[in-house]
């Protein structure tokens, strides 16, 4: 299994798109920190970028990579390798390569300019987002046989989590304006890892942002000892669940 | 030389005068003297006499002072209320108290027990005193020409013991509050029916409810005060001609916390203040003819929430920097004027280089309207979706009020006129 | 010994394998033949664990391959169309497969490496190779680890005649060592000389499974091609 991970990870790290992603992140982050004097402001801008870019790159790159590797997967499947470890190796290879790209591209500038708890949380959540969307792409590409369709679904999934979901949330919140919304809001936040990461990051940043009764609910649910445990538990579930389902499917899939 | 000379003259002029009138008595109480009890000393003294209280703890239950005395504490003597009594009640004009520590007043849900109560009196000075662990610190009833100077009031350290207001003033006028520090009380400074007073350079920090709370108190000047980390900030209600200058309102965070809450305020000025990291810097409800001029709004959740119930609000030459929302309202708000402010979110241009942006700035965003109507939408704060909505709205305004705009936003930060001493004393 | 027991497999509504019963013994070269889409490749993939049967079990040396993967250590597989990561070089692919199978533990069979002159193309990317060259790489990898069973799917399809002969000689050599060699091919003339057992499939079923001599004597033909052609014709008439 280790060997397959090694081959996949090295193959990905040589990939031009991943290198471009890393370089872009690095230049953008460094630029933000150098231009803006207040690191907190840079972190906020970086958060906005990360929330869009990490899921996009992670899901699209992984999906395309998996489809393009169908030959590779077939070659390996005929070797004495367990199905599960084969699929997990691809996951680990993709996740670690994209995480590494994120660490170098975004983590190093953050550590250089803002090595505080906010920066650390930024790096951790960025890493978690990378892994989650690799996991989601594994799920998509194992269930959809057709490459074009699979890539389309991945793009839609990204669009859904980045934009459409929030639109639906807005709609729902206004439909149910008369009701107490605390639990609903927490429930909705948990349904979208991007929203959850955004809320966790903002809660930890000292922005004047989160205020009012709703912020108290968020703080109660997602900050503090129990809250952090809960929110990170949810994020870990987001990493594991799509992956788990995809492994189960791949184990029985005809290649 | 000259000073010594003047001093001698004054001695010559006044000292004999006191002797002649028989007013020159001075009594010293001390735990080691024969004279150990303050209230006994009070009985022996006449108006105009002086009592010197030496270092020590005096537990005499509730003490009443009904003579015009000067009380001077030496070595911080403590008048202890033993958590049962009102330490000292002053009910006479011309009293001066200096350097005394008032500790452990009683507390009650029915009566206003204070460490020091001034009632129906004139010409009172309380200075350099400390108030520790009391229910009310200083309570003022129906008095005038009262000065509280350089006092320190701290409460709320004992678990289970309720604390009420630090400096509480009711139905009084011509008060001067200067250089006091109030911590841990319910309201730091509380005014009700207090007029023509000066509140200057006080530090009201970490009080449980309001740092400053006043109602029906007209014609007062609040200057260079610091109101920091109070439970609900500062509440200003039902008053006219309030003048707030050079104050600092900071770190008032919470569900219903404000830098300043203006409720039913008329003809008032808020000038040169700094609002830093408050949930809402100024919430204005039912306020008329308010001038908000040259203030600094820094890193607040909302810099201004001006409800539609307000009229003739003027907002000029303020700095808005790093606030989440610069302005929010709940309906059809009309400002009397809004121009020459600096908004860090302004994205306009200045082609003729006169320092004023060529296109107006609209401080109300689409999202601020939405969150006003539905607080749950905070969940979407800083999301890509909200950014797109705001952008779309700014390009094609449809819901944001057309007339709420800074017609002449300035391009550079406005120089602020605050006296820096407000900040030096953190 | 390989044993297929009551194997069924359906893709959508199409029954690809229909109750397959088949036993393959050591020391035989078995030709798996039949018209296109008769289920040959699916049967091979089932043996490799790449296709999972709906029902039935496959036994490899008496052990079920269900949930097992180690048995693949004993299989050398040469796919019909060698699919390799396009941007890896020949050398990298070979190195990787050796690495994955812990090659240092085995003594490798490098005979085809020399006879196919793979050394000259080690630096070439897989994507640039012709079909025949890929087949050479596939063949090399299939024989590399001295497996117990060979599965060769259309082994000579893209090979030039000389390479095909080299491969045939290699196959015969392995047969002598008492191995099981399963070959699918539709170029029957190629198989004529080396095969000793015929398994004929049609529409997911095994029509017959006989030694080659019996096939020839049954049909009265001396050439395998003709014999099979006759069988297929009879089939159509019925």
- Residue range C75-122, pLDDT digits in tens: 888 888 777 877 788 888 888 888 888 766 557 888 888 888 888 888
Alpha-carbon gap, residue C174 to C193, rounded angstroms: 15
Report residue C145: phi and psi, to 5°: -105, 25
Long-range contacts at C232-236 (CB < 8 A, ≥ 24 apart): C232/C35, C235/C202, C235/C207
For B148, the token pair is 């509280």
Which residue ranges make up each domain of chain C?
2-237
Angle between helices A83-102 and A2-13 (to 10 degrees): 40
Contact list, C16 vs chain A (CB under 8 Å)? none
Which residue ranges make up each domain of chain B?
21-186
Nearest-Cα distance to chain A for C48, in Å, is 6
Say whether residue B381 is in contact with chain A using an 8 A CB cutoff: yes
Q: Which of C11, C77, C99 sits opposite A3 (nearest CB)?
A: C99
Inter-chain CB proximity A78 and C99 less than 8 Å: no
**CA dist B143 to A143, B119, B387, C223, Å?**
83, 6, 56, 129
Closest residue in A to C68 (Cα) is A82
Q: Which of C50, C100, C101 sits opposite A254 (nearest CB)?
A: C50
Alpha-carbon gap, residue A156 to B300, rounded angstroms: 37
Angle at A216 between CA A210 and CA A218, to 5 degrees: 75
Do the two chains A and B touch, given a threshold of 8 Å on CB pairs and at least 3 pairs?
yes
Q: Which of A70, A71, A78 sits opposite C77 (nearest CB)?
A: A78
Does pTM surpass 0.80?
no
The 8-class DSSP code of residue C74 comes to G
DSSP-assigned letters across all residues of B161-203: -----SEEEEEEEEEEEES-EEESSSSSEEEEEEES-EEES-E
Instruction: Kindly list the averaged pLDDT for each block of 10 residues, start to end, along chain B of length 426.
Output: 46 47 76 89 91 94 93 94 93 95 91 94 96 95 96 87 92 96 95 96 94 94 94 92 94 84 94 92 94 93 91 94 88 89 90 91 87 84 89 79 88 73 40
Which pLDDT value is given to residue B79? Answer: 95
Alpha-carbon gap, residue C199 to C109, rounded angstroms: 29
Q: Which of A170, A181, A211 sits opposite B380 (nearest CB)?
A: A170
The 8-class DSSP code of residue C156 comes to T
Closest residue in C to A85 (Cα) is C69
Inter-chain CB proximity C45 and A255 less than 8 Å: yes
Alpha-carbon gap, residue C28 to C211, rounded angstroms: 10
A50-64, A201-215, C213-227: the lowest-pLDDT one: A201-215
Domain of residue A111 covers 2-251
Angle at A130 between CA A129 and CA A133, to 5 degrees: 80
Say whether residue C70 is in contact with chain A using an 8 A CB cutoff: yes
Alpha-carbon gap, residue A122 to A125, rounded angstroms: 5
SS3 B229: coil
Nearest-Cα distance to chain C for A76, in Å, is 8
Which pLDDT value is given to residue B19? Answer: 46
| Residue of higher predicted confidence among B15 and C21 | C21
Minimal CA–CA distance to B211: which of B193, B237, B185, B175? B185
- Structural fold of domain B21-186: Pectate Lyase C-like (2.160.20)
Contact between C153 and C78 under an 8 Å Cβ cutoff? The reply is: yes
Which pLDDT value is given to residue A82? Answer: 87
Nearest-Cα distance to chain A for C68, in Å, is 8
Residues 6 or more apart from B112 whose CB is under 8 A from it? B135, B136, B139, B164, B168
Closest residue in B to A166 (Cα) is B385
Which pLDDT value is given to residue B228? Answer: 94
Inter-chain CB proximity A202 and B323 less than 8 Å: no
Computed on alpha carbons and rounded to an integer, the radius of gyration of chain C in Å comes to 18
Count of positions (residues) in chain C: 238
Contact list, A211 vs chain B (CB under 8 Å)? 253, 279-280, 301-302, 324, 378
Superfamily of domain C2-237: P-loop containing nucleotide triphosphate hydrolases (3.40.50.300)
Which pLDDT value is given to residue C104? Answer: 61
Which pLDDT value is given to residue B162? Answer: 86
Contact between A69 and A89 under an 8 Å Cβ cutoff? The reply is: no
pLDDT (tens digit, 9 = 90+) per residue, C120-140? 888 988 888 888 888 889 899
Closest residue in C to A15 (Cα) is C87
Residue C62 φ/ψ region, left for φ over 0, alpha for ψ in the -120 to 50 degree band, beta for the rest: left
Nearest-Cα distance to chain B for A23, in Å, is 23
pLDDT (tens digit, 9 = 90+) per residue, C146-185? 888 999 888 887 888 888 888 888 888 888 888 899 988 7
Mean pLDDT for A122-138 is: 95
> In this predicted complex, what is the ipTM?
0.87
Alpha-carbon gap, residue C47 to C23, rounded angstroms: 12
Tokens 């014999």 found at: C227
Inter-chain CB proximity A48 and B374 less than 8 Å: no
B160-169, C8-17, C54-63, C219-228: the lowest-pLDDT one: C219-228
Alpha-carbon gap, residue B138 to B315, rounded angstroms: 37
Give the pLDDT band (50/70/90) at residue A206. low
Do the two chains C and B touch, given a threshold of 8 Å on CB pairs and at least 3 pairs?
no
Mean pLDDT of chain A: 89
For A134, the token pair is 């690799």
Nearest-Cα distance to chain C for A64, in Å, is 14
Minimal CA–CA distance to A193: which of A240, A161, A151, A148? A161
């Amino acid at each position: 299994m280790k060997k397959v991970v090694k081959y996949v990870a090295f193959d990905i790290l040589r990939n031009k798109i991943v290198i471009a992603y890393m370089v872009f992140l690095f230049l953008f982050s460094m630029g933000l920190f150098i231009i803006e004097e207040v690191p907190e402001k840079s972190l906020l801008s970086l958060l906005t970028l990360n929330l869009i870019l990490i899921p996009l790159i992670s899901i699209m790159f992984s999906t395309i990579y998996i489809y393009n590797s169908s030959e590779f997967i077939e070659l390996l499947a005929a070797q004495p390798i367990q199905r599960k470890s084969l699929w997990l190796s691809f996951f680990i290879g993709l996740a670690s390569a994209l995480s590494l790209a994120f660490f170098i591209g975004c983590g190093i500038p953050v550590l250089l300019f803002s090595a505080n708890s906010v920066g650390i949380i930024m790096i951790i959540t960025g890493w978690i987002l990378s892994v989650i969307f690799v996991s989601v792409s594994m799920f998509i590409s194992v269930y959809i046989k057709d490459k074009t369709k699979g890539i389309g679904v991945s793009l839609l999934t990204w669009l859904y989590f980045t934009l459409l979901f929030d639109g639906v949330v807005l709609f729902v919140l206004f439909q149910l304006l008369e009701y107490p919304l605390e639990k609903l809001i927490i429930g909705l936040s948990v349904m979208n890892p991007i929203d959850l990461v955004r809320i966790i990051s903002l809660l930890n940043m000292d922005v004047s942002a989160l205020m009012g009764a709703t912020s108290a609910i968020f703080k109660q649910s997602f900050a503090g000892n129990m809250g952090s445990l809960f929110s990170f538990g949810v994020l870990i579930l987001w990493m594991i669940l799509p992956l788990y389902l995809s492994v189960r499917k791949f184990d029985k899939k005809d290649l | 030389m000259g000073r010594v000379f003047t001093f001698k003259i004054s001695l010559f002029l006044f000292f004999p005068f006191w002797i002649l009138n028989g007013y020159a008595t001075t009594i010293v109480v001390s735990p080691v003297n024969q004279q150990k009890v303050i209230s006994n000393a009070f009985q022996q003294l006449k108006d105009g006499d002086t009592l010197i209280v030496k270092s020590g703890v005096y537990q005499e239950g509730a003490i009443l002072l009904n003579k015009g005395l000067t009380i001077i504490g030496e070595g911080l003597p403590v008048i202890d209320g033993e958590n049962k009594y009102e330490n000292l009640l002053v009910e006479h004009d011309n009293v001066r108290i200096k350097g005394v520590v008032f500790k452990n007043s009683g507390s009650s849900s029915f009566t206003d027990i204070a460490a020091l109560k001034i009632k129906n009196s004139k010409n009172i000075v309380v200075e350099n005193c400390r108030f520790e662990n009391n229910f009310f610190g200083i309570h003022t009833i129906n008095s005038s020409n009262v000065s509280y100077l350089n006092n320190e009031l701290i409460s709320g350290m004992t678990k289970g013991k309720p604390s009420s207001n630090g400096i509480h003033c009711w139905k009084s006028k011509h008060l001067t509050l200067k250089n006091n520090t109030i911590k841990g009380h319910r309201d730091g400074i509380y005014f009700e029916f207090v007029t023509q007073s000066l509140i200057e350079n006080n530090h009201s920090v970490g009080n449980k409810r309001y740092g400053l709370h006043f109602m029906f108190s007209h014609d007062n000047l609040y200057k260079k005060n610091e109101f920091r980390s109070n439970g609900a900030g500062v509440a200003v209600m039902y008053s006219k001609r309030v003048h707030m200058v050079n104050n600092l309102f900071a770190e008032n965070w919470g569900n219903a916390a404000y830098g300043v809450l203006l409720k039913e305020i008329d003809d008032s000025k808020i000038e040169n203040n700094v609002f830093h990291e408050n949930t809402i810097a100024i919430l204005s409800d039912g306020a008329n003819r308010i001038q908000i001029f040259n203030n600094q709004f820094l890193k607040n959740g909302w810099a201004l929430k001006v409800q539609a119930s307000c009229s003739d609000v003027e907002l000029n030459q303020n700095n808005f920097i790093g606030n989440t929302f610069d302005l929010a309202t709940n309906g059809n708000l009309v400002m009397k004027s809004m121009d020459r402010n600096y908004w860090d979110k302004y994205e306009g241009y200045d082609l003729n280089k006169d320092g004023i942006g060529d296109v107006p700035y609209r401080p109300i965003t689409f999202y601020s309207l939405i969150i006003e109507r539905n607080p749950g939408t905070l969940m979407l704060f800083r999301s890509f979706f909200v950014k797109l909505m705001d952008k779309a709205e700014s390009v094609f305004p449809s819901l944001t009020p057309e007339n709420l705009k800074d017609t002449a936003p300035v391009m550079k930060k406005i120089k602020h006129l605050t006296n820096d001493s407000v900040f030096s004393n953190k | 010994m390989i044993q297929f027991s009551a194997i069924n497999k359906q893709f959508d509504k199409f029954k690809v394998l229909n109750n397959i019963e088949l036993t393959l013994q050591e020391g035989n070269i078995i030709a798996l033949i039949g018209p296109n889409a008769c289920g040959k490749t699916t049967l091979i993939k089932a043996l490799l664990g790449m296709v999972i049967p709906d029902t039935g079990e496959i036994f490899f040396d008496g052990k079920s391959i269900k949930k097992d993967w180690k048995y693949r250590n004993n299989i050398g597989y040469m796919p019909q169309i060698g699919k390799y990561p396009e941007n890896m070089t020949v050398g990298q692919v070979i190195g990787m497969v050796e690495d994955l199978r812990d090659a240092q533990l085995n003594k490798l069979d490098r005979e085809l490496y020399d006879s196919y002159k793979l050394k000259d193309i080690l630096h070439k990317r897989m994507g640039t190779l012709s079909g025949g060259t890929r087949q050479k790489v596939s063949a090399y990898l299939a024989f590399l680890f001295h497996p117990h069973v060979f599965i060769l799917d259309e082994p000579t399809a893209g090979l030039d005649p000389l390479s095909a002969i080299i491969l045939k000689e290699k196959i015969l050599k392995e047969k002598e060592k008492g191995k099981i060699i399963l070959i699918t091919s539709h170029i029957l003339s190629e198989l004529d000389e080396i095969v000793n057992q015929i398994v004929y499939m049609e529409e997911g079923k095994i029509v017959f499974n006989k030694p080659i001599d019996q096939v020839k004597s049954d049909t009265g033909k001396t050439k395998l091609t003709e014999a099979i052609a006759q069988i297929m014709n009879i089939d159509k008439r019925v």
